[in-house]
Structure 1
Amino acid sequence: MKKNLLTLVLSGTIAFTCSPYVLAKNVATIQSNTDYSQLVTKRQVVDHLLDEAVKAFKSPARISHAGFTAKMPSNMEVVTNRLLEAYKLEPYRTDLLISAANAQIYNKNVDKAIELFQQALSVAPEDVDLHAYLAVWQHFKGNQAESNKHMKVLAKLNKGKASDIKHIFDTVDSVVSTPLKIKAEKGLLEDRGAIVTLGYALNPDGSMHEILIERLMTTLKLAKENPDALIILTGGVPKNNKTEGKLMADWLVGKGINPNRIIEENYATSTVGNALFSSYALARHKIKHATIISSASHVRRGQTLFEIASWQTGPQNITFDTVSYPDKPLEQLKQVSDSELLGIYRDALRTYGMWSYRSYPLESR
């Protein structure tokens, strides 16, 4: 019965309103013959669809390469479809369109995401976030005239937000134009410096992946060259009751690094989390300069997010640079790819505070 009613609701063949006369005429029949537990309301259907979206979003189908931990594209298609089905039933819910659009960003289908953002904008033409999203993704696509159009509207609606988006553009441009390097510059960490090593997904048995060990080898060398530098180890996706932060700390201590130099950050589950949680440690210790260590194909995203996180939390005037473990030849990574740039912009917006998913119970920064 429920399944049949669910199908009817989604196909639009059930009317959810009736006149008072019809209701009064049939009330006795309804009371005597209908099992209310079998009724499926429009709200219940939407809740069911969103629950399915959450299940797809939280499914264990995760991938990890070069530090990228995200949902499989097939998962994001399920998320998008369920959100759009819910939107058909509740067309005032622009949050559902925004969440679906961001699911398509994760799916690397920027054109579809832009289409959904514009659909939402037709309902809410003065929505500040929608103009911000469209300014960023039109900029990413190289449609500068369209991006400028949304920036102009954004400046009228919220001058501060427009300034922030411009700051994000400038930060990304600066980071991606800086050449990658595998050796540290001397002297940068001498005065209140910190080394920040980004975690990498552990093996299923809780052991460290080879890539994470290579990042630690790079960290160990830099730590020995800069004995006064603080060391922040960030990563908290648990595997077999172990976290990256804890295992990294144990590894470095086993190689002779003083544990008093080390701060374990065992809560971050993404690069966004790495930046947000670690930035507070940088602020607390009034760090002047931090060197970020990660894989070469991931480190530019890491630096961008740390720049944005620290821009908001402090310390003021902190500077960053990076040292890469060359998971790929640096010559191949000299020019940032569209895929890498998409990840940089997507996570820059999240770090800045624009939630990707805002449709309860599917809520995620």
Structure 2
Amino acid sequence: MTKHLLAVLLSGFVTASISVHAVSQDQIAIDSTSNYAQYTTKRQVVDQLLEDAVVAFKSPARVSDAGFTAKMPTNMEIVTNKLLAAYELEPYRTDLLISAANAQIYNKNVDNAVALFEQALSAAPDDVDIHSYLAVWSHFNGDDASSNEHMDALSTLDPGRKADLDKIFSTVERVIKTPLTETASIPDDGNNAIVTLGYALNPDGSMNDILIQRLETTLKLAKAHPKTLIIVTGGVPKNHKTEGKLMADWLTSKGISANRIIEENYATSTVGNALYSSYALARHHISHATIISSASHVRRGQTLFEIASWQTGPQNITFDTVAYPDKPLSELKTASSSELLGIYRDALRTYGMWSYRSYPLESR
């Protein structure tokens, strides 16, 4: 039996070898003309699309003025298109829709963003973040009925989130109704601070005139209130220098004691200014802080600092602003739609809702 089995196996091997040899020449011909791209997996394609989105997102091209710094609109359109192409391949990835929607917010295309958020909601009808985004951007668009609908949904899904959004709405409304001023209201008692927001350095690492103007305003206030702590915040490096360091050096060169100054050298946006500086305010038990920035920027700054302090404290801290008039204050009496969009967008980021949540494109 053993010999018979061996003979059968050997016979089969020989037959198989002949068969394989018989098709191998044809197979070689097929292989030589095959397009191996067809064997690329969906995962590989999606990963490449997201890598392309990251490259566009991190492009150094920027739009910048005294009140707004952001990626170039064309970059953000590329980000949106890459994310949506990835979503077509992996339609369960609702995070891709959320990230694409927020890219549209950065491009001020709120209607497009709302449509994408609604598409995401149809896939995840109980998602707290999506309801939150729709509540905020519907409110921004003046669609109170839709905003209230999503706030009602949040009252069931996450009452705490609804309460926080109500607080954000009320904070924004109060701040934008507060008249801009070139003078501060620093109390005579308590621990007080001056917080001066940075501005992008010139390519050679020198300070832009806008930043110097903010420092001139800071210097006057610091001399008038010699017991105040001073926080200078900004960390986008240019020629191996940061805003925070240069701002501190400028103030000390004008006679301000270095012991009064805290450098914050890491923030790359107003959101970072607020988040990082809030820890310094908490550590020094500051009861009142005056924020100094350009007039077109201070309302956003105050809103974000107030929201950041909700988590870090001090719980009873108050804020006011001093506006350097980069434009006549009469022209900025009412917050523009563009300014208000930036306030709400960054308020959500400061609160903790990440705009981009599709690895490797992740950014608060």
Residue pair 1:189, 1:290 contacting (<8 A) in 2 also: no
- 3-state DSSP class of the match of 1:239? coil
Shift of 1:36: 10
- Counterpart of 2:257? 258
Shift of 1:163: 0.6
Query: 2:235 corresponds to which letter in structure 1?
Result: G
Measure, in 2, the Cα distance between the counterparts of 1:37 and 1:111: 41
- Counterpart of 2:312? 313
Measure, in 2, the Cα distance between the counterparts of 1:189 and 1:226: 9
Q: Residues 115-168 of structure 1: CA distance to partner in whole angstroms, max 9, x if unpaired?
A: 000000000000000000000000000000100000000110000011111110
Shift of 1:73: 0.6
- Counterpart of 2:11? none
- Unaligned stretches of 5+ residues in structure 1: 1-25
Residue pair 1:46, 1:86 contacting (<8 A) in 2 also: yes
Measure, in 2, the Cα distance between the counterparts of 1:189 and 1:227: 11
Query: 1:174 corresponds to which letter in structure 2?
Result: R
- Counterpart of 1:103? 103
- Counterpart of 2:116? 116
Measure, in 1, the Cα distance between the counterparts of 2:261 and 2:312: 21
After TM superposition, the score normalised by the length of structure 1 is 0.90
CA, structure 1 residues 29+149, in 2 after alignment: closer, same or farther (shift >3 Å)? farther
Measure, in 2, the Cα distance between the counterparts of 1:207 and 1:189: 36
- Counterpart of 2:246? 247
Residue pair 1:233, 1:264 contacting (<8 A) in 2 also: yes
**1:93-242 alignment runs, 5 A limit:** 93-185=93-185, 187-188=186-187, 190-242=189-241
Measure, in 2, the Cα distance between the counterparts of 1:63 and 1:312: 31
Residue pair 1:190, 1:229 contacting (<8 A) in 2 also: no
Measure, in 1, the Cα distance between the counterparts of 2:312 and 2:124: 31
Query: 2:353 corresponds to which letter in structure 1?
Result: M
- Counterpart of 1:88? 88
Shift of 1:67: 4.0
Query: 1:209 corresponds to which letter in structure 2?
Result: N
Measure, in 2, the Cα distance between the counterparts of 1:216 and 1:340: 23
CA, structure 1 residues 189+79, in 2 after alignment: closer, same or farther (shift >3 Å)? farther
Q: Residues 291-315 of structure 1: CA distance to partner in whole angstroms, max 9, x if unpaired?
A: 0000000000000000000011101
Measure, in 2, the Cα distance between the counterparts of 1:197 and 1:29: 71
Measure, in 2, the Cα distance between the counterparts of 1:269 and 1:233: 13
CA, structure 1 residues 133+60, in 2 after alignment: closer, same or farther (shift >3 Å)? same
- Unaligned stretches of 5+ residues in structure 2: 1-22
**1:5-154 alignment runs, 5 A limit:** 33=31, 39-154=39-154
After TM superposition, the score normalised by the length of structure 2 is 0.90
Identical amino acids, percent of aligned pairs: 74
Query: 1:319 corresponds to which letter in structure 2?
Result: T
- Counterpart of 1:4? none
Q: Residues 224-257 of structure 1: CA distance to partner in whole angstroms, max 9, x if unpaired?
A: 0110000000000000000000000000000000
Query: 1:248 corresponds to which letter in structure 2?
Result: M
Measure, in 2, the Cα distance between the counterparts of 1:172 and 1:188: 23
Q: CA RMSD in A?
A: 1.7
- 3-state DSSP class of the match of 1:332? helix
Measure, in 1, the Cα distance between the counterparts of 2:311 and 2:331: 33
Residue pair 1:190, 1:226 contacting (<8 A) in 2 also: no
- Counterpart of 1:286? 285
Query: 2:114 corresponds to which letter in structure 1?
Result: I
Aligned length: 337
Query: 2:265 corresponds to which letter in structure 1?
Result: N
Measure, in 1, the Cα distance between the counterparts of 2:94 and 2:178: 38
Shift of 1:191: 2.0
Measure, in 1, the Cα distance between the counterparts of 2:191 and 2:294: 24
Shift of 1:63: 1.9
Query: 2:245 corresponds to which letter in structure 1?
Result: K
- Counterpart of 1:296? 295
**1:303-342 alignment runs, 5 A limit:** 303-342=302-341
State the structure with more CA Rg.
2
Query: 2:72 corresponds to which letter in structure 1?
Result: M
- 3-state DSSP class of the match of 2:335? coil
